[in-house]
Structure 1
Amino acid sequence: MIWGYPDIPSGFCILMPTVPNDRTAHAAPSMWSVRPAPPLDAYIDRIWGMSYHAQTPVALPRILPGTGAEMFVHFGQPFSAVTDTGAIDVLPRNHLLCVRNVCLDLLPSSNLDFIAVRFKSGCILRFLDQSLGECFDHPLSLDDAMGHAGTVLMDRLHGVSGRDRRVALLEEWLKNRLQRRAWFDPRMAWATRELYYTSGGIQALADRMGLGRRQLERRFKAQEGLSPVAFRQLARFQRTAKTLLLDPMQPLIQTGLDFGFADQAHMVREFHAIAGRTPERLRDEMRARLTFYCRSSSHQRIAASPTA
């Protein structure tokens, strides 16, 4: 349990405002997370959701660049976001987010009810009808991302009520989508996880895979839309930012060193290049917002879903 938010599993972190007020203490979003059943758990990190209905809007996060992808289905008010030009854009009610090069500032909302699927790095292509690069940096409607099957899913999800039934329906649909696609290279999906979790060099990874470096770079970029070097840089930023936002008391410099930054200047330079902010400023700005980051141990199965 998180202090002040008894309905939220401990794997989710709500970043309290620096000076909590009475209105914040009386209304809190309800969040949940479940582990998908096999074989989906090899490709999907979690299925999760949030509901919030109150007079006082809740501050939603700034979506930071990362290495995965997220599918959102809204039953309440869809997200609104501030674009790079400063305009306010209402996102599609059902959409895919695959943010790599921009930040997406979600506006506060007082009417939230959504279910989301968080895909692991390198795995969203098992479910798409198009290349990954076409999905980067702008909300893509599920009709465009999944074709007619996406439309059918949305109609079915909006036709049922209750978290358990929606999760079971969503898992069934995802299993039916799980098939070998011409543009999905399982070896490159493995390479993304190696780059995400290890600090070895690109040449060492190519050697382990029995590939030349240029061959690895060409195949990796064809699938992920990024070079291995750019992906590793983004993964390092994502893992560091996640730790700092979930555990705000963590020392900045040591956290950066733990995730592979050479020194403070390296960390500050890379954060500014990716998020337009220093690590300290980013952490301070996010204190008064929700974060969609969560710890790995937060999964819980629910009754209507198949058992693991």
Structure 2
Amino acid sequence: MNYQTFQPHPDLASLISCYWTLEVPAEGEAKRQRIIPDGCIEMAFILGDDIKRYISQDEFILQPRAMVLGQTVDPFFIEPLGQVNTFAIRFYPYGFANFVTSPIKDLVNRETPIAGLFEEHTANALEQKIIQAKHSQQRIAIIESFLLEKLNEKAIIDNIVKKTVDALISSNGTESIRAILKKDLSKRRQLERKFKKQIGVSPKQLGKVIRLQTAIKMLLNQESDSLTAIAYQTEYYDQAHFIKDFKEFTGINPKEFLGHENMTLSRLFYQ
């Protein structure tokens, strides 16, 4: 398994967290992998074999080979049908809205073919360029040229949304919206509307995902061998509340997470 990340061009660094690639040889018997929310929107190109995305215990769809995965608020399972070779762009929560006119809330919990978000001819041409590129750096140059062209002017991120996202990230998701807005609570409804438009989920939902991310990283990095200590450090009310949120976003409890075979990819992405 080969997972790599790459930093974006400075002109895109306020909107894109990173580019990433994943290569996994075909296995004799494919295993389902549970993917858990990470608070980001991603554009991905499947360059290897097809990948199933389960929509129920037994039903599945094949993921589009060039797609945008919107905000996810529930865990889901994928299963590669052979060799995995993926190139993807991980946007900050407020980043992808700067490149499309479609409502971001329409992308939540689903994969959308890029041909449904950009002009079909343009999207198909982009996909072919990515497929024909010889290496990751060439693909990064292609996608950056495409995205920079989409920005008609220098990216201006809505101040109230960016301020809220930055506060949630810097506080590991524990800062309350009341504290962020201080005395100007009249902005709360405006903030909720702008969040839905630019990010796809509410500030509260994003805060929960970010806080859980912090707890998962502590668990993976073995910063504490006590769930109670992790719950305390990430400012959960108690261990029971931590476990409840963990199961809501991952589908299993913290102790199962560390050794579960279908969590390999999620553990890799978080580490």
Shorter-chain TM range is: 0.7 to 0.9
What letter corresponds to residue 214 of structure 1 in structure 2? Answer: R
Distance 1:220 1:183, change over 3 A: farther
Report what 1:217 is aligned to.
192
User: CA–CA distance in 2 between the matches of 1:209 and 1:62?
Assistant: 40
Report what 1:164 is aligned to.
137
Per-residue CA distance 1:139-192 (angstroms, 9 max, x = gap): 111111333332221122123322221221122112212346999634313322
Distance 1:167 1:76, change over 3 A: same
Alignment partner for residue 211 of structure 2, among 217, 236, 241? 236
Whether the 8 Å contact between 2:105 and 2:196 is mirrored in structure 1 is no
Report what 2:221 is aligned to.
247
User: SS in structure 1 opposite 2:21?
Assistant: strand
Matches for 1:254-273 after TM superposition, within 5 Å: 254-273=229-248
Whether the 8 Å contact between 2:130 and 2:142 is mirrored in structure 1 is yes
Deviates more, 1:55-64 or 1:69-78: 55-64
Q: CA deviation at 1:44?
A: 0.8
Alignment partner for residue 16 of structure 2, among 44, 56, 60? 44
Q: What's the RMSD between the two structures over aligned residues?
A: 2.8
What letter corresponds to residue 123 of structure 1 in structure 2? Answer: G
User: CA–CA distance in 2 between the matches of 1:267 and 1:65?
Assistant: 16
Distance 1:266 1:256, change over 3 A: same
Unpaired runs of 5+ residues, structure 2, are: none
Q: Give the TM-score of the pair, scaled to structure 1.
A: 0.76
Report what 1:285 is aligned to.
260
Aligned residues: 266
Per-residue CA distance 1:97-154 (angstroms, 9 max, x = gap): 1242221211144311121111112211112231110101011111113333322211
Unpaired runs of 5+ residues, structure 1, are: 1-28, 296-308
User: CA–CA distance in 2 between the matches of 1:144 and 1:154?
Assistant: 13
Report what 1:26 is aligned to.
none
Report what 2:94 is aligned to.
122
Q: CA deviation at 1:221?
A: 3.2
Report what 2:117 is aligned to.
145
User: CA–CA distance in 1 between the matches of 2:175 and 2:23?
Assistant: 41
Distance 1:92 1:243, change over 3 A: farther
Whether the 8 Å contact between 2:30 and 2:81 is mirrored in structure 1 is yes
User: SS in structure 1 opposite 2:231?
Assistant: helix
Report what 1:194 is aligned to.
167
Q: CA deviation at 1:266?
A: 0.8
Distance 1:226 1:165, change over 3 A: closer
Structure with the largest fraction of helix: 2
Whether the 8 Å contact between 1:126 and 1:181 is mirrored in structure 2 is no
Deviates more, 1:140-149 or 1:260-269: 140-149
User: SS in structure 2 opposite 1:130?
Assistant: coil
Report what 1:79 is aligned to.
51
User: SS in structure 1 opposite 2:83?
Assistant: strand
What letter corresponds to residue 258 of structure 1 in structure 2? Answer: Q
Matches for 1:13-28 after TM superposition, within 5 Å: none
Report what 2:146 is aligned to.
173
Report what 2:25 is aligned to.
53
Per-residue CA distance 1:191-234 (angstroms, 9 max, x = gap): 22212332332122113878533333343334333332222122
Structure having greater relative contact order (Cα 8 Å, sep ≥ 6): 1
Distance 1:208 1:283, change over 3 A: farther
What letter corresponds to residue 279 of structure 1 in structure 2? Answer: P
What letter corresponds to residue 247 of structure 1 in structure 2? Answer: N
User: CA–CA distance in 2 between the matches of 1:294 and 1:236?
Assistant: 13
User: SS in structure 2 opposite 1:226?
Assistant: coil
User: SS in structure 2 opposite 1:290?
Assistant: helix
Distance 1:33 1:256, change over 3 A: same
User: CA–CA distance in 2 between the matches of 1:208 and 1:171?
Assistant: 40
What letter corresponds to residue 46 of structure 1 in structure 2? Answer: C
What letter corresponds to residue 293 of structure 1 in structure 2? Answer: F
